[in-house]
Amino acid sequence: MEFNYRLEKNPETVIDKVCQLAQDRLVVSGNSRRGTFTGAFDGSYRVEGDRAKIVIRRKPLFVTWTLVDKGLKYLVA
């Protein structure tokens, strides 16, 4: 599933926030412009200007796509 958001903060701040919140649940590889993540969720991200495209390839079955969207919106805000 693909999500697109306008970034409210610079990409470095967003990636730092993800890494701090995920700690032992995700491994993030890449930089502030593009990368992948694996763990509880698997996917990739790409930043172009003030837009972020996040592709989720795998998620826990009990987590709804609506909840994923809300979580991602929190992270990019």
The CATH number linked to 54 is 3.30.310.50
Is residue 76 very low, low, confident or very high in pLDDT (cuts 50, 70, 90)?
confident
* Owning domain of residue 17: 2-76
**How many domains does the chain fold into?**
1
Considering the entire predicted model, what is its pTM?
0.86
Quick: pLDDT tens for 35-66. 999 999 999 999 998 899 999 999 999 999 99
Count of alpha carbons within 13 angstroms of residue 15, beta-carbon side: 19
11: three-class secondary structure by DSSP: helix
